Amino acid sequence: MIQEKKLVEEVSGWLRVYDDGSVDRTWTGPPEVKFMAEPVSPHEQFIDGIATRDVTIDQNSGLRARIYLPEEENPKFPIILHFPGGGFCISQADWFMYYQFYSRLAKSIPAIVVSVYLRLAPENKLPAACDDGYAALLWLKSLSKGESNEPWLNTHGDFNRVFLIGDSSGGNIVHEVAKRSGFIDLNPLRLAGAIPIHPGFVRAQRSKSELEQPQSPFLTLDMVDKFLALALPNGCTKDHPITCPMGSFAPPIDTLNLPPLMYCVAEKDLIKDTEMEYYELLKKANKDVELFHSTEMGHSFYLNKIAIDTDPVTAAQTSELIEGIKVFINKHGKRS
């Protein structure tokens, strides 16, 4: 007799974990939202000004990335290394929600975007995703030194203008990778800046904004609690340094060698209070940081294609975010 596996955890329609350790990431929420979490196949021919390809970064680990190349006459493009969000538990670099935003960003700047297929929890607990992000940066360094080759990046990429960007939990990875890179010599690559967008910085204790701000499809309290419980090492709370870099378990911000930051927050984000706590520490430590504030918006609003297409305010705020990123990259991408 075959014993039926039992559901032990479910997270807001995004994920189910069973007692045999298996994980089902089939979307079970509203069907009209499902397309945003579906993969977009790579296309090496240009479509609407963008070509994409998937490449293997590390043959041993199987780590991969998706590259976005803009169709522009430009000697060299800045390189944006992207870490997707999803509470370390869901989402992939090829999801439509990222494709629609990062293809647009790549065209607007213009820049090459390299989006990393991160390992997911609970199968791969933290710091696995951070290790993957750091490995991707070291891969870019190896390309810059001519130790390995990726034709699009080696032909069109400017390794003197490399930026990190990440959505939600990907913003946590931005911090972690920037922190680690401050202890090594990246030459001839130059890490010119970092852009955490609505990073998943939280504390074990609920913040005022968590208690008062509206929940959204892209962030609920259920997601905050359960995703991080699945992602963090066994026995750890949300006060872990990866999820709480402003906490007592993390190294003091003023001891870190961080690149210039464009720090993005949204007015109605559930976790805005703890995001701002990190920003205030950056300022106190005299770090080079610019705050970008999106009014009336919630967590990761710019990834919600339905809202972008139907709500003029979301559309306008998304355009302003893209323009802000463009200005930041142009400002900090000047050759040194």
- Residues annotated as catalytic are 168, 269
Q: Given the DSSP bridges, would you call strands 50-56 and 64-70 parallel, antiparallel or unpaired?
A: antiparallel
Residue 125: partners with Cβ closer than 8 Å, 6 or more residues away:
230, 231, 232, 233, 234
How far apart are the C-alpha atoms of 206 and 82, rounded to whole Å?
Answer: 29
> What does the DSSP 8-state code read for residue 250?
S
DSSP labels, 194-241: EEEES-----SSPPHHHHHSPPBTTB-HHHHHHHHHHHSPTT--TTST
How far apart are the C-alpha atoms of 120 and 237, rounded to whole Å?
Answer: 18
Q: Given the DSSP bridges, would you call strands 23-24 and 15-18 parallel, antiparallel or unpaired?
A: antiparallel
Q: What residues form DSSP beta bridges with 9?
A: 17
φ/ψ bin of 10: left (φ > 0), alpha (ψ from -120 to 50), beta (otherwise): beta
- Sign (positive/negative) of CA torsion 189, 116, 40, 300? negative
